[in-house]
Structure formats: C-alpha cells, structure tokens
Structure 1
Amino acid sequence: MNSATTLKFPFKFAGNLREITIEGEAYLQVAKDPNRPFILHTPKGAVQVLGTSFNVNTYDSGMVKVSLVEGAVAFNSVKLNPGQAAISTTETTVTTLNENDLLWIKGRYKLDNTPLSEITKILPRWYGIQVVIDNSKIADKKFTGTILKSEPVEEFLDAIKITTGAEYYYKDKILHIH
C-alpha cells in the first residue's frame, strides 16, 4: 500500500466472494481461486481479479487507474491483458502500462514534466507535510526528476529550486513554495 491509502476488508471473507475496498494506491498479488472470485471496489467501479498482479490508483478523486502486470483483470467491463492499463474518468479507456506508475513500490516517484501544482499533492502523502503554493504564477512550472522516499524532502525541494527557480520555506510546520 502506498502512503495515505485506506483498505477496507472483513476479518473473514463470507461466502464465495473475496471483496475489498480501496481509496489511494496499492499493488496487489491475488491468488487465483475460481470458486471464490476476488472483487476490488474503487470510487469509479469494481475490478474483478482473475488471479494476478496489478496496481490500482484512486488518489485523484475524478479518476481510477488499474495497471496490469500479469494475469488478468476486468474493470468496468473492460478486460485487460498484461502490460495494459485502464483509466476511468467518465468512461474507461485502455492504454499501455507506464512502468513509472509502479516505481512507488521501490520508494521512487518519477516525475516527467509535472506541474508544481501536481507535485504538491504527492509530497503530503509521502512526507506527511502540508504544502501550500504561495505564488500562483509558479503552480504551472514543470519539473522532471525523481523523488526518493528514503531521502529528506529538502533534497527534492533543492532540485526543484535549481530547475524551476521556486523557493521554499517552512512556517508553522507548513511547507510554502513561492
């Protein structure tokens, strides 16, 4: 499970179904059991798991992304093959799996031309800090690089400062970027 993720499941699965609910992001490996289907509920639909390894991301409240590594899943009536991802907003579309989506499992988050406004959504999950952009003009500045969870957030912020010119400071335990 990635940071700031909630997983709900019963103490013991009742009947022939194995059902759980997720908000956030998790990488799951599910044993195949045709007699006891595994269903993962998300805010945008259910994933029927057919014995597999996959990632599910629901951090963005308007979107769910299911990335299949191996096996098979069906999400909103779309069956995925290994190496595919399904993105559900108002409808579900299938794309190629982006390996960067799985780097969080290894404590890395790769950013590719990502606006600072999006980065400020990641930092609270990974570092447990509140982040505010003081200057709206820098919210759209883009950064390419990697966050390493094992390093202090200041290492990453220094890289942002060098590449975008955005400064940062702390006030009342809140990280301000300007």
Structure 2
Amino acid sequence: MSKAEYSVEDFILDPEFRGWILDNSKEGKAYWENFLKEHPEKIADIMLARKFLIHLSKKKSGLASTAKEEIWTAIAGKIESESQSEREPKIISLDSWAAIQQHNQEAAKKKRTAWRRKAAAVLALVGTLGYFLAKTLTATQEQAAPVLAETEVLQAPLGVKSTITLEDGSVVFLNSGSKISYTKGFTDSLRLLTLEGEAYFEVAHDPSRPFIVKTGSVSTRALGTEFNVFSFPGEDVSISLVKGEVLVSREDADLAQRLAPGEGILTSLESGKWEKTEFDAERALAWMNKTLIFDQTHFGAASKKLEAWFGVEVLFENKVPQSLHVSGRFVDESLENILEGLSYSSRFKYRIEGKKVYIQFNP
C-alpha cells in the first residue's frame, strides 16, 4: 500500500514512522518532512498518529507488564517494549513536532480541541486492542481497595528537550534542565502542576477542571489554551500567552492579571516586581524552534544558557570581563559553531573536552 493512502492506524503501525516520531531517526527525518510537503492532506492524520504514539509510549499505572506486551504485540509483532522507571521522563525529540507545525500551524490549532474524540475513534478502529483493554479495565474495576494519590515527576536532562502527553490529553514541551510534578491522574475538580524551569503547555479543554501551573508563589490558571512559562532559579518569572486566556496571580501579594494572546507577565519571586508586557513570540518561543538568542547578554549568563542547552560545563580559566556582553541568533547550531562565532567578538580562546568547555579570555 502507498503511504499516501495510509490511515491513522497505518501510520501508527509503520516502523519507519515510529522511528521518526519516537527516535528521531536520521533516515526517517528527511523522508517524512518531504512526505509532508507532497501530501499536506495527510497532515491531520499524521498529527493524530504522533500524539497517539506518544500517549502509548509512556508507562501507565494499572497496566500489568504482560498486558502491555500483548497490546504492543497485537499492534505490530516486531515492536520492542522497554520498561522504565515511573519517574523517568519519556524523552521525545521536538523535530517531528516542529516539522508538522511548519507545514500546518493553523490546521493544528483547529484539530487540537477534537483530539480526545478522535483518539477514542482510533482506539475503536484498532480492533486487536479491544480484548486486552477490556480485560485490563475489568481487573481495575474489581479492585475495591482505595489507593493513595501518587506524585508524578518528569524532567528533561540538561541538553535534552522532552515532549510529554498528560493523562487529560494536554501536551507539555519541557526545555532542558526543567521539571514538572503533579498528582497522578489529577483530581475530579483540578489539574495542578508545579514547574521548575521552562515549559510550553498545550492545555486540553476541560471546563470542569481548571489547569493551574505553579512556579513558587506565582500561579497561571487556564481552561484550554497555550502558553509558555519561564521560571529558572535566580531569574524573573515570565508567562507568555499564545492562545486562549489565562489568569496569573501571586499568593504572596494582592496581584492578579488576566491575559489575552500576545500579552505576558514579568515578575520576581524575590521582590514586588509585577509587570504586564507584550512579548515577542519569536523570541519567547525560540527554544521550541531550536533557536538560541543572546541580546546584550552578560557572558556569564550566556555561558549558563550554553550549559543547559548542550548539557556541558563551562569552565573559565581566567576572569570574565564585567563589561562583556554578547549578542547573536543561532538556529540549530552546534556548540563549536556558536563558540567560534562568539570568540571573534568576545576575544577568547576555547577548547572542548568531552562535556567540559574551557574558555580563556585574551589579555
């Protein structure tokens, strides 16, 4: 069968498609990006298949390991099932997401609200899953004993960006060195997460359960929307609203502000700073598009960004000049290319040894 005739489940079963989505295989990347250009009518199915694969790739509580193996075997006999710790983050490259968004940004927005309904339809179409899922659900219902709420902790290691699909269908894109924690399954009335670092949220619409992201004393409340939260230690908290509406508030002060798309809040957890802003979407979401931006950034702060971005340690062999600030825009560049570009204007020599970068400034 030609891939141009694929249905959603055909994409899910295709090993090359799974390799592109879950492993970011180099061979599959070029093929599928070209396929998107030639067959834009299949983008909606590809997006749904991608979300379904991510959803299945994460270990769920209540499913026995044998049942998971049977389910994967029923879908495709050659899929390899890997067990992982409950608290180990599932790391999925943003390459496939960026490629799809590039070709279908507007269509993607229209399709998200219908995702859960379509995902249910996909489950119905994959008939081989029915028996195993029914067996698992029956076993779960027979467990009358109450269970204690369990906290889920997911994080992206330094140098890695992660994509996570939550139980409610919301999608979280975690920047490197960032972490979220929440009560597994949420509650009947609330979806509450705690964030350390930076993340972009695509919130599944559910009016009965508000979605709240806490960063220290700052809370961002939404029902169904898309927004970015930046909250690294020692830096101001920044909330940028892309779509929908949110209410940002501070528990330690009588401060609250509703935001419309294009608006943001800049606040400090160490002071009373509270400022409503209009943000530059390209700059605020640069990390989502593999773009590293320095804008008159002190070199010490720039080195911290490089450490988080590439998962390295920057060591200075002499003192960093206090007046040294750098500017530049680097799109999907290697660490060596960035250092090479900065070294000319900042007058330093560097060497890379494994995960360590040594920098020496010229006298």
Same fold (TM over 0.5): yes
1:129 aligns with 2:312: yes
Runs of 4 or more above 3 Å deviation = 170-173
Within a 5 Å distance, the mapping from 1:133-172 to structure 2 comes to 133-148=316-331, 150-170=332-352
TM-fit CA distance, 1:139: 4.8
- Aligned partner of 1:31 in structure 2 is 204
CA contact (8 A) 2:191 2:210 kept: yes
Within a 5 Å distance, the mapping from 1:71-150 to structure 2 comes to 71-76=244-249, 77-89=256-268, 90=271, 91-99=273-281, 100-148=283-331, 150=332
Name the structure with the higher helix share: 2
TM-fit CA distance, 1:88: 1.1
TM-fit CA distance, 1:115: 1.5
Question: Using a 3 Å threshold, how does the CA distance of structure 1 residues 172 and 128 change in structure 2: closer, same or farther?
Answer: closer
**1:12-69 residue CA offsets vs partner (Å, 9 max, x unmatched):** 1122100111101111111232211111111241111132111000114342110111
TM-fit CA distance, 1:74: 1.2
Residue 315 of structure 2 aligns with an amino acid whose one-letter code is V
**1:97-152 residue CA offsets vs partner (Å, 9 max, x unmatched):** 1220111001111211211111111011111101123333435312211234x432
- Aligned identity (percent) is 30
CA contact (8 A) 2:299 2:320 kept: no
CA contact (8 A) 1:44 1:88 kept: no
- Structure 2 stretches lacking a partner, 5+ long: 1-173, 250-255
**1:129-176 residue CA offsets vs partner (Å, 9 max, x unmatched):** 01123333435312211234x432010000011121122224684212
Count residues with an aligned counterpart: 177
| Structure-1-length-normalised TM-score | 0.90
Residue 184 of structure 2 aligns with an amino acid whose one-letter code is F
Name the structure with the higher strand share: 1
- Structure 1 stretches lacking a partner, 5+ long: none
Larger CA Rg, structure 1 vs 2: 2
More RCO (CA 8 Å, sep 6+): 1
- Aligned partner of 2:359 in structure 1 is 177
RMSD: 1.8
